[in-house]
Amino acid sequence: MPEAPAVCLVSPGHFSSNPRLVKELTALHRSGYSVRTVTSAQVPWFSELDARMDEPALADGLRLRRLGRLHRILLRLRQKSFRLWVSLLFRLGRRPRPWHLAEALNLDCRRLRNTLRKQNATASTPFALAIAHNLAALPAAAAVARETGAGFAFDAEDSHVDELYESESLDRQLRHALEAAYLPDARYVSAASPGIARALAERYGVNPTVLLNVFSPVVAHTSRRPGPEPGEPIRFFWFSQTIGPDRGLDAFLALAPSLSQSLGRALELTLVGRPVPGFETTLRREAQACGVGLKLMPLLVPEALFELAAGHHCGLALEHSEPVNKDICLANKIFTYLAAGIPTLLTPTAAHRELAPQLTDAALLLDDPPKPEPVDRWLREVVCTGRGHAAALKHFHDRFNWDLESRVFLDRVNEALTS
């Protein structure tokens, strides 16, 4: 029986910081592909979470280990020299070599490339397709694929050029030039939102497939009561890798006193993530001033995150509209809340405005600036009655789940392997 084609997923991040990669890996593994990974093991708290993840397919891969201080200093000096060289070429109107762009942009691109080569050298057969997650992985996957006659693909969870402001001109130019050098040759490009797909199509003439950040139905939680009991506090939920300023939490806290008074209920807010040094004190002071009961929890593995979210009544997806990437991305918060069976308050970014009509009672799009009256009405009529809970689970099972989305992903992989 012929050996299944080997697909390698490449990322500069950890498994626990990239659930999108883990979902792709699991889908490939269950579909019979030989799956390999090149990822990171450089951040201690993410390494601890990686070790607690219950997914057998994660074991077959190589990891970038944490470097010593001197090695990192040397890498930064190397990167700085490439940045100076590439910047000079840009000013002269000349086009830098793609790999020089990679060296100027990221410290780990060379290590990713060399680790990928090592993995190919020790495997029975080289990979047939490498799927790069994040810009640092793109040149590494493309370089090794070209050396072996394989294909490469790119998954854009963000619009990387648009993660930066116009004032960050050199880094924007670097990212744009890097994507322009590699993406047209990719077997396929996928994007995590329609807005990101449109941005990539307009810039590079590619035709990205939209793969939303949805989750598997096995994580859905339906056992809890659909709404708060009379007199029970309304519990809100938010998570991110980092808890800090400019994350939209100020918008919720500004609404909280009016909502608590009009509803006659206490409001509680659970945050999951790592606080920026010094921010926790400020946040607790602001929450107390607004009458919000605040609970902070450390980072969790995905399974525990869903279970925790399901014990709340409303999720918060409070993205800003700047820089542009935040306006057009669809983060995994919304789809985590749908899987947990809790409706969501959305800030009115372009991506949220496009998605919200599809979610009916499972979401409320806030005004800009937020006004308490529509939120009060929605909490009374939708959240407290259980309508939001029912709508969230219905939309999750009918449309926004990985069982459906993974079919699109696997189709693209199959096409890439046969093209």
- The most confident of the ranges 7-16, 42-51, 73-82, 374-383 is 374-383
Q: Is 386 left (phi over 0), alpha (psi -120 to 50) or beta?
A: left
In the numeric block, which tokens belong to residue 154?
């790119």
| pLDDT, tens digit (0-9, with 9 covering 90-100), for 79-118 | 999 999 999 999 999 999 999 999 998 878 888 999 999 9
| Measured CA distances, 302 to 4, 215, 354, 355, 392 (Å) | 29, 10, 26, 23, 18
Task: Starting at the earlier edge strand, list the strands of the sheet with 267-275.
Answer: 292-297, 267-275, 234-243, 314-317, 344-346, 363-365
**Predicted confidence (pLDDT) at residue 54 exceeds the cutoff of 80:** no
> Would you give the DSSP letter of residue 355?
H
DSSP state of 215: B
On the CB side of 157, CA atoms within 13 Å amount to: 18
Residue ranges of domains in the chain, CATH in brackets: 6-214+402-418 (3.40.50.2000), 217-398 (3.40.50.2000)
| For residue 224, pLDDT beyond 80 | no
Continuous segment of H or E residues that includes residue 195? helix 194-204
Four-residue CA torsion sign, 164, 165, 170, 172: positive
Q: What percent of the chain has pLDDT over 90?
A: 70
Q: How many CB atoms lie within 10 A of CB 399?
A: 14
Of residues 55 and 187, more confidently modeled: 187
Reply yes or no on whether the pLDDT at 410 is more than 90.
Answer: yes
Provide the pLDDT for residue 211.
Answer: 98
Is the pLDDT at 62 greater than 50, yes or no? yes
In DSSP notation, 177-193 reads HHHHHHGGGSS-EEESS
What digits encode the pLDDT tens for the residues 160-213? 999 998 877 899 999 999 999 999 999 999 999 999 999 999 999 999 999 999
318-341: per-residue pLDDT in tens? 988 899 999 999 999 999 999 999
With CA atoms as reference, report the closest residue to 140 among 120, 157, 123.
120
What are the tokens at 393?
């689970």
Beta carbons within 10 angstroms of residue 86's beta carbon: 22
pTM for the predicted model, two decimal places: 0.93
pLDDT tens for residues 367-390? Answer: 988 999 999 999 999 999 999 999
Residue 300, both tokens: 């969790």
Q: Which residues contact 127 (CB under 8 A, 6 or more apart)?
A: 6, 7, 8, 36, 119, 120, 145, 148, 150
How many whole angstroms separate alpha carbon 418 and alpha carbon 184?
A: 18
